[in-house]
Structures are given as C-alpha cells and as structure tokens.
Amino acid sequence: MKKFTTLTGIAAPLPMVNVDTDKIIPAQFLKSIGREGLGEALFFDMRYLPDGSENPDFVLNKPAYRQAKILIAGDNFGCGSSREHAPWALADFGISCVIAPDFADIFYNNCFKNGILPIKIDKETWEKLLDDAVRGANAMITVDLEAQEIRGPDGGVATFDVDPFRKECLLNGWDDIDLTLQKSAAIDAFEKKRVTAWPWAAPVDG
Amino acid sequence: MAGQTLYDKIWDAHLVDASAGGMALIYIDVHLTHEVTTPQAFEGLRQAGRSVRRPDLTLAVADHAIPTTDRNAPVEDAQAALQLETLAANTAEFGIEYYDGHDIRQGIVHVVGPEQGLTQPGMTIVCGDSHTSTHGAFGALAHGIGTSEVEHVLATQTLIARKAKNMRVTVNGALAPGITPKDMALAIIGKIGTAGGTGHVIEYSGAAVRALSMEGRMTLCNMTIEAGARAGLIAPDEITFAYLKGRPRAPKGAAWEAARAYWRGLASDDAAVFDRQIVMDAADIPPLVTWGTSPEDVAPITGAVPDPAQERDPDKARAMRRSLDYMDLQPGAKMTDIKIDRVFIGSCTNSRIEDLRAAAAIVKGHKVASHVGAMVVPGSGLIKAQAEEEGLDKIFLDAGFEWREAGCSMCLGMNPDRLAPGERCASTSNRNFEGRQGKGGRTHLMSPAMAAAAAIKGAFADVRECKLG
C-alpha cells in the first residue's frame, strides 16, 4: 500500500452533508475489473453537465482546485454503498486526505486500505479549515500524520485523533494481509476450536 | 460480571487475536461474494501468490450487473459480461461454489444466503456489499466490507475490525393494519437520521420487532446501513428456527439440536448495557414515502413535502433545497398528488415472496396506470419459481407489470434497468440518492404494497384506502 506520511497541498471545500458513495462514483463505473483510471469518474454527476462537458460551478473544476490533494467535506461523508471504487477514484484524482466532522463507517475504513487518510475533526476546527480552503492556492494546508497535526496557512495548528494501528499501517505502507498472515498460528488454533465448538457451522458446503 | 449483548457474545466468540491496539482479528464464518466488488480482490491474490484460505466458507453469486432479461441471451454490455466471466473464472480457479445466471438458486446475494440456510444465528458474515446487514435478521453479525477487506477475508478468513458500540432500537406495540416492516425501517431512519447509527451495531427489539416474520426482519436489518450502522441484529427465536429448519445448508439431526441450544443462548442478557437506546411505538408508524435524496427524508403518505423555510439548521435547509430541486418537488405539495413514471418492486430490501404477495394482493384485478412503466424483479430464481407456482406472475403480467429474472436490477442501475433523466419512480429499494437508479432519476422509497398502489393510481396512494382484489 502507498505510504501516507506528510501531505502539503490545496484543500478543496465540499461542505455538502451526506455525500454518498453514489455521488462520489456512480454505479456505471463499477463495471471495471481494475482499480485504475477512476479519477475521471470522481463526483461524475456533479462534475459534468448532461452534455459531458465540465460543470464550471463544481469545486474541482475551478482553476484553483484542479490540483487539490485534500478535501474538506461535510458530515457523514461516504455514506451508502461499500464500493471501494470511491476511495480508488479519490486517490486516482490525487486526493489522499479527506477532513470531515464525521464519516460513514465503511468508507472510513476503506480509505485506510488505499493510502488515504480520513480525518474526523471537531466542527469548530472544521469551519476554520473550510475558511482556509475557500482561499484556494493562497492557503496550502499541511497534514502531518506522524505528529497528528494539521497546519494551516496562517500558522494555526490543529491536532487530530487516529487509531494507532491504522496510523502505523499508513506511515509504513504496510499490507495488512501480510500482517494477518503472521498470525496464522492463531487462526489455525481458532479453526480447531471452531470445529469442536460449532461443528454445524463448518464447512458451508455439504 | 456485567451482562453481554448479542453483539458482544458474537464478537467474543469470533475473536482470533486482540493484540493490535484497538483493532482485533475476528473470524468470518461465511463470506458471500458477487461480480462487482471481487475482481480486484482475486487479482490481488494472484499478484501476491496467495490462495483462498477457506473456499468452503465462501459462496459467489452473480447479482449486481447481471441483466434481468432472458438468461439465454448474451449479456450485451461488454463490461458486465467481462465481470461475469471474471467471476466464473475466479471461482473456478480458487475452488469457490458459484451460482451463475442459469442456476435456479441465483439471486441477490442477501436473498440467497438466508434462502439456502447459509445464514445462521451467531455467525459472522461479510460481503463486499453494504446491505450485508440483512443477515442480522438471524442474529448473525453481518456487515459490508470493501474490496481490500474482501481480499483479506479470502486470504485469511479473518477481518481486522474495531469493535463498534452497542445501540438498541426498541419498537413497542403492534404495527397497524397496512403498515409493513419497510415503514418501520423508514420510520427509524427518519427519527435517528442516516448517521444516527454510525459507529454502532443496532439491535432491534420490542414486541413489534418480535412479531415480524423472518422476511420482515430481513427488510428491517437490511435498511440498518441507511441509518449509518454497519450491522443490525435481531435475537434468534422460534420464528428464526422455524424459517431455518430444513433449508439446504441448515444443520440437520443431532447437529440441529446442538445448534439450536447454542442459538438460544445468544440473546442479550437482561443486564446487558447499551451505549445508546431509542424507543418507539409501532402504533405511531404510518405508511411512509421518501420525498428527498436521503433515506431519512420521510413523510407520511397523508402528509406533504416539507418546507426548507421551516428548517432551523442552515446546513439541513440547504440540503433540503438541493433535494427538492433535484426531485422537482414544491414544499407543501400533498404526497398523494405526486405523479410517477415508473415502479420498481425488487431489491435485497423487498423482493422476497411475502413482498411479492403483498404487492400482488393490491394489484390483483387492476391495471397499471397508462403512463406508468412497472416491473417486478424477484430476489432469486427460487422466489420467482414459487411466485409462479402461486400465480403471482400472472397477476402482475395481467396488470401490465414486467416480470423479470432475479438480480439487483434497478436498485442501483448497474444493468440496463435504469431510470431515464427526470423519471420519477416508486421503488421498494433502499436508496433514494441522486442518480442512484440512473442519472437524473428521482427515487421515492416505500413498501411493496405502497409501490403496487402507486402503480395502479399513477401517483402515490395510501395503501390503507386500496380495496384488495
């Protein structure tokens, strides 16, 4: 997995509440059998007009935000479907940090698997960051995962919480399947216990 | 010792390792897979030279992108065809059982698991689909996962997870006549909001929940994700056992007795502590219809489209205005004055035999309004066959409905079943998000009986005023 350590970039404001994963990437783009190239489809229905041209009013189409690396998003960002195409599309576009007052659980989890840092932040700090984001390239934001700090353009610093395990995985770019396979003995032991304790539950076919 | 909730008990029984800080490794009993969220996971296994640890605990079903038209015709959409071929090839390569479009057991994965008796109380069940919460109806801990986690489960049969908080939603009393489990689900989401259950597992309890059939319980648990909670749970009871008994994958003989004894011990202890509790009265729940673009945007059928000017929270008022603009609705419009273009009866929420019977009871002897296109998509091939045995297909076809093959269909519009821009749909599915059923499409969620009534009237109608037959 791609590492996430420190990120400095333009933050795009998208303060809309309940941005669901269908909005992040509509279902017609889920027919790919790969993970690549989904950045073009990010926020498709908001980003493009019915004739296929760019909607000039959408934040990521504005000259100031075309290179955004951070998204300042609204409450309950990523609600809805479990599609990992949502973080894939964000990453492919170049966004590797999303800051919001709250996230939907599955999307939040999926971000960490793709080198994207989702940051839950209190409403007051969020509003300050949103103000910064509105200033576009004049207001670069730095996100430092090691220090758990967001540094604003005016010298302001906000701290954030992150699960220690997920933090380590992101900082080191660890593949969590590798980590789990190191615990194969515990899985073997569990499976032995399972056969005796719940014999009816295994195997599925029979 | 403090009492344990049903969730606590299942969690503890599946704990493989708890050494990684706040994260734990939990064992997965059943892994359900489909064509859309697995290709990248299988590819990842191949690239890393890994195998599937327990193909025998994994089942694959084609449901999301598969067309609901003639199964003997080639799949016209080249991308969907490739996804289906890829699933067939992957399941063959890794030794996983696969129900393809020609298998009568094929259907929506969350309909198939319970129908086959794979879904059992006390289990952990995951699938790369958020509506995996459906299986919680059996008292199984079941939730959606992303594709990276699908790969993790394939490789290790475990999931790295953080324990959620316990939340209980109690619905006391009894549902009034004409009120369905779908109305109960929408009422709960309307009350707590689409983020109301974030970070929690919701256990449903109370007399009105206990009175639900297994199919009704599945509808309720299915919609749990729309309230923000990844998983919903209902303690297993005699209704659960009666549903399960004799199903192909359910335990038999002595194993059945042993399993049932274990399942009976799963219910939350009286002394169990919940982090959050909501109590509702079933008698207060009317037939509900959504008016906006979030499942929490519910209104009684006897009510009207709400007015953003009355909303005090400016963020919510802005979201309401955007929704109303997208939905092309005026504040104050009576719900029963809203005309529709399409009706979709189907999805993992409402495509089971009881749903089809409820809709058919309204439709029987009537015709779909001339300006409405209506379709019924059964949840599985077996449900379709049963409905045909009961003559329900004839009722729908005589009324002017289309009668399709099983699949997710227009719930998410991945296959050709989609709304055209601007079309308004009465839908028994679970999400009314912008563009969910097709770009520019306008979705209103409701129960199968209400969708059937809307098909006949050509506008939303109060099912309590419809004459049966």
Cα–Cα distance between B363 and B255 in angstroms, integer? 43
Do residue A84 and residue B146 have CB atoms under 8 angstroms apart?
A: yes
Q: Catalogue the E-assigned strands of A44-178.
A: 70-73, 97-100, 117-120, 141-144, 149-151, 157-159
Range of the domain at A11: 6-201
- Residue A11 located in a structural domain: yes
Do residue B433 and residue A16 have CB atoms under 8 angstroms apart?
A: no
Do residue B16 and residue A186 have CB atoms under 8 angstroms apart?
A: yes
* Residue in B17, B195, B435 nearest the CB of A26: B435
Chain B residue numbers with beta carbons less than 8 Å from the beta carbon of A83 are 36-37, 146
Cα–Cα distance between B206 and A190 in angstroms, integer? 35
Tens of pLDDT, residues B334-382: 999 999 999 999 999 999 999 999 999 999 999 999 999 999 999 999 9
**What ipTM describes this predicted complex?**
0.96
Q: What percent of chain A has pLDDT over 90?
A: 88
Q: What is the pLDDT of residue A206?
A: 42
In 3D space, the residue among A72, A49, A71 whose CA is nearest the CA of residue A126 turns out to be A72
Cα–Cα distance between B467 and B449 in angstroms, integer? 12
Q: What is the DSSP string of B357-370?
A: HHHHHHHTT----T
8 A C-beta contact, residue A23 and residue A76 = no
Query: In chain A, how many domains are there?
Result: 1
Do residue A45 and residue B149 have CB atoms under 8 angstroms apart?
A: no
Q: What is the pLDDT of residue B16?
A: 97
Provide the 10 A C-beta neighbour count for residue A24.
Answer: 26
Report the DSSP beta bridge partners of residue A79.
A20
Treating both helix axes as pointing N-terminal to C-terminal, what angle do B353-363 and B381-389 enclose, rounded to 10 degrees?
Answer: 40
A190 touches chain B (CB under 8 A): yes
Query: What is the band of A108 on the pLDDT scale with cuts at 50, 70, 90?
Result: very high
In 3D space, the residue among A62, A28, A177, A64 whose CA is nearest the CA of residue B413 turns out to be A28
Chain A residue numbers with beta carbons less than 8 Å from the beta carbon of B259 are 198, 200-201
Do residue B315 and residue A75 have CB atoms under 8 angstroms apart?
A: yes
A200 touches chain B (CB under 8 A): yes
Chain B residue numbers with beta carbons less than 8 Å from the beta carbon of A33 are 39-40, 43, 82-83, 86
- CATH code (residue A192): 3.20.19.10
Do residue A76 and residue B22 have CB atoms under 8 angstroms apart?
A: no
Using CB atoms and an 8 Å cut-off, which of residues 122-151 of chain A contact chain B?
A: none
Query: What is the band of A154 on the pLDDT scale with cuts at 50, 70, 90?
Result: confident
DSSP character at residue B426? E
Q: Catalogue the E-assigned strands of B178-230.
A: 200-205
Do residue A34 and residue B43 have CB atoms under 8 angstroms apart?
A: yes
Cα–Cα distance between B197 and B202 in angstroms, integer? 7
Task: Taking residues A4-30, report their average pLDDT.
Answer: 96
- Residue A56 located in a structural domain: yes
8 A C-beta contact, residue B202 and residue B224 = yes
Q: What is the pLDDT of residue B8?
A: 98
Low-confidence ranges of chain B (pLDDT < 50): none
Chain B residue numbers with beta carbons less than 8 Å from the beta carbon of A180 are 25, 152, 155-156, 158, 160
Q: What radius of gyration, in Å, describes the C-alpha atoms of chain B? A: 21
- Residue A87 located in a structural domain: yes
For chains A and B, what is the number of CB pairs under 8 angstroms? 212
Q: What is the pLDDT of residue A155?
A: 87
Length of chain A: 206
- Residue A206 located in a structural domain: no
Q: What is the pLDDT of residue B1?
A: 60
In 3D space, the residue among B247, B70, B56, B62 whose CA is nearest the CA of residue B154 turns out to be B56
Cα–Cα distance between B164 and A88 in angstroms, integer? 25
Chain A residue numbers with beta carbons less than 8 Å from the beta carbon of B13 are 197
Q: Name A171's Cβ contacts closer than 8 Å, sequence gap at least 6.
A: A3, A4, A5, A145, A146
- Residue A135 located in a structural domain: yes
Q: What is the pLDDT of residue A139?
A: 78
A63 touches chain B (CB under 8 A): no
Please check the confidence at residue A138 and state whether its pLDDT lies above 80: no
- Residue A1 located in a structural domain: no
A186 touches chain B (CB under 8 A): yes
Would you state the structure tokens that stand for residue B337, as one six-digit string?
A: 């004055």
Task: Taking residues A103-112, report their average pLDDT.
Answer: 97
Please check the confidence at residue A199 and state whether its pLDDT lies above 90: no
What's the whole-model pTM score? 0.97
Report the DSSP beta bridge partners of residue A20.
A79
Ramachandran area for residue B349 (φ above 0: left; ψ -120 to 50: alpha; else beta): alpha
How far B326 CA sits from the closest chain A CA (Å)?
12
Question: Given strand B231-233, what is the order of strands in its sheet?
Answer: B231-233, B200-205, B165-172, B276-281
8 A C-beta contact, residue B448 and residue B438 = no
Cα–Cα distance between B54 and B153 in angstroms, integer? 9
In 3D space, the residue among A145, A129, A92, A83 whose CA is nearest the CA of residue B130 turns out to be A83
Chain A residue numbers with beta carbons less than 8 Å from the beta carbon of B162 are 163
Tens of pLDDT, residues A109-128: 999 999 999 999 999 999 99
Q: What is the pLDDT of residue B427?
A: 98
Chain B residue numbers with beta carbons less than 8 Å from the beta carbon of A80 are 130, 225, 431, 433
Do residue A110 and residue B40 have CB atoms under 8 angstroms apart?
A: no
Do residue A187 and residue B294 have CB atoms under 8 angstroms apart?
A: no
Report the DSSP beta bridge partners of residue B98.
B60
Tens of pLDDT, residues A45-59: 999 998 999 999 999
Do residue B144 and residue A106 have CB atoms under 8 angstroms apart?
A: yes
A92 touches chain B (CB under 8 A): no
Q: What is the pLDDT of residue B20?
A: 65
8 A C-beta contact, residue B378 and residue B393 = no
